[in-house]
Amino acid sequence: MALGLIHRGVRVTVYERANTLPEIGAGMAFTAVAQDCMRRLSPRIIAAFERVGSPNEHPQNRYWDGFHPESKEQAQAPESLLFQMSTYDMGYWTCLRAAFLEELNGELPEGVLKFGKCLESYTDDETKTKVVLRFGDGSEAQADAVIGCDGLRSRTRQLMLGESNPASYPRYSHKVAYRAVVPITAAIAALGEDRGRNQCLQMGPKAHIMTYPLANFTLTNLAVFVTDPKPWPDPKRLTAPATRQEVVDAFADWSPPAREMIDLLPESLTKWALYDMYEDPATEYCRGRVCLAGDAAHASSPHHGAGAGMGVEDCLAIVTALETARTNLQGAKRFHPSLKFAAIKVAFEVYNAVCYERSQWQVRSARETGDIYQWAYSGSGSDPLRCKAEIEARTKKIWDFSVEEMVRQVHSQCKPPLRTEDRMRKRMIRLIDLQEVQEVLEVPVLCWRGCLGLSVSRDPPLSQLGAFELLLVDN
Ligand SMILES: Cc1cc2nc3c(=O)[nH]c(=O)nc-3n(C[C@H](O)[C@H](O)[C@H](O)COP(=O)(O)OP(=O)(O)OC[C@H]3O[C@@H](n4cnc5c(N)ncnc54)[C@H](O)[C@@H]3O)c2cc1C
């Protein structure tokens, strides 16, 4: 987001709660759509991604039976391949999350990123020219607009939608993830050369295992997902310490290669509770000059591998809307702070209108996709043909998407703020001084606002203006 705005000459400050960049040792996949958005946001972003990312070697993404095969040979045999989908269409490239973040950080100009700034509250008073942000360290900052990219448990969301609103909080999806990055040689030893060097999803009852290569085929991302019917013990924390043994127990009946992959997990590890906004979606992504983007707006479970990708789509829509708003403002005859307020508000509303449905669908579909992988979705069970039909239709919706059309919609919906009152006839009058204002309005100037069905751009007070443009509205 920040690099996209900077690329368009917008001054940005990123306030980050943590004191350093997070070191999550895990892989990340981005579709061709997300990469298209990165390219349009800024050439620096896509260049950073291409330095650390790589495509699948195999032309198909493949989904295997991880449960029934009784030997390694059986597991690699064609009968164990449940279904496959074209890698070219999906266009997934994978990378190490920490490596990509570091590359992006390296592209930010000095001083843009401020660590140790935990947002506690904000005030968006429309009579004031700026939004005021307050942080945990007691400091304050001001901005024309605020984009809350503060993740799954977004404070911005709580402040925007209300602290007692259920939509302000994500819920436990009753699945946990165990993640590790292991040497690719070990993955190849367990899965075989072909499956070890490519994306490999092993499906089975109540669990699934996703592996793919990273870091120029030296490492493998290992993500293990298990259904957990119990409540998550501590909703304040999204992770809990775990042991390899509990994962070994969950996969005791699975095929030898699946169990061998589980054996590669470290002895003590972290268990991630997968929370999402499936039950209580945010009703909107913006209010006034504040908006939500990424997981703050639509946190989802990770089963489409598209949560961050949707966030990148948000970034492009927001950046495009703000850029269009700025162009519209530059076209306005006379600049006034209230016009800037209106333009930012419209830009965020347009982002909301264009991105809401798709990102909400992704939240719902990702939750269901987790169940499909674990043979628990009523529409497909463990039937490979039905599973394929479900996954194909859903995945197609993610990759078969026109970024160009999204950008066009944002442009076309961002109307200049003065043209919003289409129903009304408008007449511009040039007023020379206070006396003339009073003569035209036939009321004392202090009462001018709201009189005679008049809509006026105000601040500073009329009395201080030598010349002023009024928008006269006849109903
Ligand atoms: C197991 C797993 C695998 C995944 N795999 C994929 C994948 O392959 N592809 C994909 O597209 N997505 C994937 N996702 C989803 C992806 O990780 C998220 O969608 C993405 O990280 C969200 O990015 P974000 O910037 O919105 O939020 P985050 O990455 O959560 O970043 C939020 C930032 O805000 C900061 N912050 C929080 N609160 C405050 C505050 N009050 N003040 C200041 N700063 C604050 C945080 O410290 C953090 O740095 C996966 C998720 C999981 C759990």
- CB-based contact 55:87 (threshold 8 Å): yes
Whether 440 has a pLDDT exceeding 80, the answer reads no
Tokens of 436: 């003339």
For each of the domains in the chain, give its residue range(s) and CATH number, in order of start.
1-56+92-169+277-420 (3.50.50.60), 58-86+171-274 (3.30.9.30), 422-474 (no CATH)
Q: 311 CB under 6 A from ligand 1?
A: yes
pTM for the structure as a whole: 0.87
Q: Is pLDDT at 421 greater than 50 in this prediction?
A: no
Element (H, E) at 102: helix 97-107
Confidence of residue 27 (pLDDT cuts 50, 70, 90): confident
pLDDT tops 50 at residue 472: no
**Three-state DSSP class for 141?**
strand
Alpha helices in 251-375 (DSSP H): 256-263, 295-298, 307-331, 337-373
Q: Ligand 1: does its nearest atom lie under 6 Å from the Cβ of 297? A: no
Residue 465: pLDDT band (50, 70, 90) is: very low
Nearest atom within ligand 1 for CA of residue 154:
38
The pLDDT tens digits for 136-180 are 999 999 999 999 999 999 999 999 999 999 999 999 999 999 999
Helices (H), 163-301: 184-191, 193-196, 244-250, 256-263, 295-298
CA distance 47 to 68: 43
The residue with greater pLDDT, 162 or 462, is: 162
- Using the mean position of ligand 1's atoms as its centre, give its distance from the Cα of residue 313 in Å: 14
CA of 8 to the centre of ligand 1 (A): 24
Name the token pair of 13: 């400050």
**173-182, 304-313, 316-325, 458-467: least confidently modelled range:** 458-467
- Helix locations, 197-283, DSSP H: 244-250, 256-263
For residue 169, the number of C-alpha atoms closer than 13 Å in the C-beta half-sphere is 10
Catalytic annotation present for 423: no
Confidence class of residue 396 from pLDDT cuts 50, 70 and 90? very high
Q: What is the DSSP letter of 446?
A: G
The average pLDDT across 384-390 equals: 97
The catalytically annotated residue of 40, 44, 62, 179 is 179
* Range 215-233 average pLDDT: 95
pLDDT band at 435 (very low <50, low <70, confident <90, very high): low
Strand 60-65 with 200-204, pairing: parallel
Using the predicted structure, report yes or no on whether residue 36 has a pLDDT greater than 80. yes
**Does residue 148's CB lie within 6 angstroms of at least one atom of ligand 1?**
no
271-308: pLDDT as tens digits: 999 999 999 999 999 999 999 999 999 999 999 999 99
Least confident range of 163-167, 318-322, 336-340: 336-340
Output the six-digit token pair for 390: 């479900």
With the most atoms of ligand 1 within 8 angstroms of its CB, the residue from 150, 269, 369, 401 to mutate is: 150
* Protein residue with least CA distance to atom 4, ligand 1: 302
Q: Which residue has the higher pLDDT, 409 or 469?
A: 409
Reduced to 3 states, what is the DSSP secondary structure of residue 380? coil
Q: What are phi and psi of 431, to 5 degrees?
A: -110, 135
